[in-house]
A = this chain, B = another copy of it.
Amino acid sequence: MPSITGPEIERLIQLLARLPGLGPRSARRAALHLIKKREQLLAPLADAIRVANEKVVVCSTCGNVDTSDPCVMCRDPRRDDKVLVVVEDVSDLWALERAQVSNGRYHVLGGTLSALDGVGPKDLNLDKLLARVTEGGVEEVILALNATVDGQTTAHYVTDMLSHTGVKVTRLAHGVPVGGELDYLDEGTLAAAFRQRTTL
């Protein structure tokens, strides 16, 4: 097919199409939108991406991404050093923060153990987790990992790894999602919710 538009715009479309949530068609729409809103969107976005590219660092303490090291979570003096919430990914940290469920510190593993994908303990941010717990001051490690096979395998591994430190290790509850209907839930979730029922 002959080129419809200049190679520069084609390249922009191709790069936008690699963003999660955008396919080839929506990337074209996004590129056109950018070009039309040049002053309000294209120029500011160019600037924001350049700044992000220059400034973003991975926090050497917890693995979060931020524009400073240590990150805003590790720096905040109002957070509770006694609680350490372990998550797979930065997006999980953001999700927990949006829900405002914990005032503790975080630790981002950067993935889960996966035999299929060849991800072993050395590939995760585990040494630093052990170091942080061994250092003292942490009383509870909350494993906020996904309820997938890989997430649960990782949870077992971390529990084992931390067993000699004497720290309390907990995991999130399984159960019926708020607003969820029993009829649409899988048997595993229903069984877990039944087992862990609470007194009213």
Contacts and interface: CB of A to CB of B under 8 A. Distances in A.
A7 B67 CA distance: 8
Nearest to A40: B18
A89 B94 CA distance: 38
Contacts of A1: 97-98, 100
A119 interface: no
A55 to B, nearest CB: 6
A91 B29 contact: yes
A41 interface: yes
Q: How many chain copies?
A: 2
A89 B33 CA distance: 11
Interface residues of A, number: 60
A158 interface: no
A34 interface: yes
Contact of A29 (B4, B21, B42, B64): B21
A41 B21 contact: no
B46 A34 contact: no
A50 interface: yes
Contacts of A52: 8-9, 12, 31, 34-35, 42
